[in-house]
Structure 1
Amino acid sequence: MGKRAAVEFVLRPFEGLPGEPDWVAMREVVPAATGTARTTAEHGARDVVVATVLPMGWPALHRNDGTLMVALQQHAGSGDASRDLAALLLQAMELPAGTPITSAPLPEPGPRLQDVLDLDVAFEVTVHDGFEYWLSPEDEPDQDVRASLDQMNETIVPTRRLTSVDAAYVAQMGDRTYLRWAVTRDEQEFIDALARLHARRESGLGEAGAVGRFLGAFRSCGLLVPVWDLAADVDVEVLEQELGALSGRLEKALAVEAPLDATERRARAGLVSRQLTLR
């Protein structure tokens, strides 16, 4: 038997898809959300619901009402999340309505989401308060699915998507609230810009970080995701305003072409020491 062909590792698997940073955020930091997509005409021009998770940890589902659903939060993969999800989607299309895919074997090289999805269709995200989006109005879930739904609803982290910038999400985790913002700018350039602000104590939200204090950043799917620890009971309108102001400061800092000075280099070293890579 010949050796199985391996899928090449892709650092930034969702690059080129509409809403790339939202794909990354939904894969890593958002508990319950859906996004809109559609397959190309070659693949039937089918509407697709991209979900954070599905019941019982299913990778994909051809729902009873004919809706195609694929889950972003999956534990294992080939090294190219785009290829993995495309393989699941194509497989789900061939299944009868009401049939889940319960396991996801590693695919061989083949079409990726960028080949299967219509790239002119916007990726519009809806954040949900629970996981009822799993079900169609006609669904009568069995005992196991209902138990999975109830368990997930009991442990959901309240999350909200902000509108002042793309792909920024606020999550209430116990008595702490965090802002996580997936950015598509070049990582080194963004860190330089953030270091310029950090050196001037302007990397927080609000005056002296009164609304939010910069904590650090992690990498996922090739994108940087900075994180801020927010003040208790922060007002969303104030947060939107301050995040917009921070975005403006970052744009100005990104436009600076001069090398970092000594203070900014020290600030940058501190920022880099707080980074980690999830995938």
Structure 2
Amino acid sequence: MGSEPADLHDIDTSLPHSARVWNYWLGGKDHYESDQKAGDAYKEKFPLIVPMARESRDVLRRSVTWMAREGVNQFLDVGAGLPTANNTHEIAQRIAPDSRVVYVDHDPIVLMHVDTLLHSTPEGATDYVLADMRDTDTILRGAARTLDMSRPVGLVINDVLGHIDPWEDVLTLVRGLVSGLPSGSYVSLTHSDADDELHRSVQEEYNNSGAIPYVLRGPEQTVSLFDGLELVDPGFVPWPKWKPDAAMPGSLTMRAGWVGVARVP
């Protein structure tokens, strides 16, 4: 299902790309020399970026696990990024093998690797929707091919909203997606923080390199994305503080980013 993967010849590998740089920091293999150089330059100036990337990925594991244990067996992962360990369908289907997961991305680099995201259990299903995050109507229509939108859905937006600017577009995106979810659904949302001055400086340098920019934002702003929703315990907190467990990676910072999971009333 979905669309044909992109052709490698259509991709400029001479410029770093955020999905590939992130994959490099996570220890993946889907990156090029430009991404490695950009990733090395970033972590040389801000070494915490590597544990931050791991913390961000691990809070996805914990939040999807929690939603699955709450009985959710349908997930919509928006801005999925490159496949790595513990993709959303793998996490959910470990808890509930019949889980159905739809990934959303419009990045040609991600689409080259989409087959990895479509390896479902026999009982479950996976699909992807080729769409920009801002195109919420297309996303919801595409998700309905695989998900029963009359039953609760776990919406996952994991640390990708920094790629959307201005802020009004972020609010419109999140509210547009939430408006298509039935009562009893959950929204799992994370965002990288803007508290560290060095981090802001290094990120600004990266943004000016020709790579896809990412806007760091503080929790005082991003918590408003949960307006009208019911945050579950422990609320909107730094990544390592959200339902920690023994499988977490070592954490070197408590201000890397923030996460909340909220119920749709």
TM-score bracket, normalised by the shorter chain, equals: under 0.3
Point out the structure with the larger strand share. Answer: 1
Q: TM-score, normalised by structure 1?
A: 0.24
Q: Which has the larger radius of gyration?
A: 1
Q: TM-score, normalised by structure 2?
A: 0.25
Point out the structure with the larger helix share. Answer: 2
Quick one: higher RCO (CA 8 Å, sep 6+), 1 or 2?
2
